[in-house]
Every structure is written in structure tokens, then in C-alpha cells.
Amino acid sequence: MIPGMSLEDEVAVHRGGLITYAHRLTGDADEAEDVVHAAMVKALQAIRSGTEPGNVRAWLYKITHNEAMNSRRRSQAGAQAVRRRSAPESSSSARPDLMGLVQRELGTLDEPYRSTLTLKFLQHLKYEEVAEILGLPLGTVKSHVARGLRQLTERLGGMLDKDV
């Protein structure tokens, strides 16, 4: 908890990071907003019913992660159609920047790797927080990060530094 701040206010402080995370999981900005809204409603309901989480940030990310996964399951077919429609057209005039390539490839990784890499490197969370959010043992999180980085590096043809 942030000293001197109500739990409701602390939930609001983390909203931007949650939207970024949800967007990376869902691939759609509007869906990410919906996911975070549903997560915030659940979090505030839990707070009002007496829940007092120890690590508020990790708790919020876990709720958001679960909502995003539920949303993905509900709209799997629709998400595939959106991906096909939004696939970038090939352009010989400009080569995408490295960050754009990394983000696009990150979105294609299988779920355990996409979530762990997003939380660890894009949301700047500690391994312990990632483990808490995903409900996985610490060693599994570290393994997912290593395997996900290896897959990402292979897909990008070695364009990433090996010392990430």
C-alpha cells in the first residue's frame, strides 16, 4: 500500500499500467479498456467487501490478467479475424523499427511466454510479482522468461542483444 492513500485511490494510480498490460495481452485498445474496467470493478467490489491485499499492484495485475484471459477465451474466433484484418501490409519503402518488430513478435508468442515477458520487461515487475500475478512458482516464471526470450530472439533473427 502507498502510505496515506486510500485503497480506492491506489487502484486508480495503477490504471495506466494495467491498460498497457491488457492491451499487450489482447492486442486491441478497446478490448483492453473493457478488460481493465471489468478488473477495476471487481477490485473495488472486493475492497468494499473487506479484501485488503498485501501487494496491491500485483493483486490488480492478477485480476487484469484473469479478465484478459477470460476475454480472449470468449472472443477467440473474433480475435483471429481481427488479427487477419489488421496484419500489416508489406511495404518495401520502410523497414519497421526494432521495438515495433519486438512488440509484434511478442504478440505472436504462446500465452505463458507473452505474459511473463510483458510483465517482466514491459511492465517492469520483479520476478516475484510476476509469479504472484500469474499464480506460478518463481522457477517457472524464470523458465518462461528464458524460453520466451529465446523464442523471441530466434523469431527476430538474432536482432536482439543476447544480454537482455
Annotate 50-85 with DSSP letters as a single string. T---SSHHHHHHHHHHHHHHHHHHHTHHHHHHHHHH
Q: What is the pLDDT of residue 83?
A: 54
CATH number at residue 69: 1.10.1740
Res 67: pLDDT: 92
Tell me the pTM: 0.66
Q: Are residues 128 and 74 in the same domain?
A: no
Given 39, 69, 87, which residue is the final one in a domain? 87
Residue 102: inside a domain: yes
Distance set, CA 163 to CA 56, 109, 121, 153 (Å) = 31, 20, 13, 11
User: Band of the pLDDT at 93, cuts 50, 70, 90?
Assistant: very low
Q: Are residues 116 and 54 in the same domain?
A: no
In a domain, 164, yes or no: no
Provide the percentage of residues in the chain whose pLDDT is more than 70.
80
What range does the domain containing 106 cover? 92-158
147 shares its domain with 104: yes
Same domain, 48 and 75: yes
Q: How confident is the model at residue 131 (pLDDT cuts 50, 70, 90)?
A: very high
Q: Among 87, 103, 134, identify where a domain stops.
A: 87
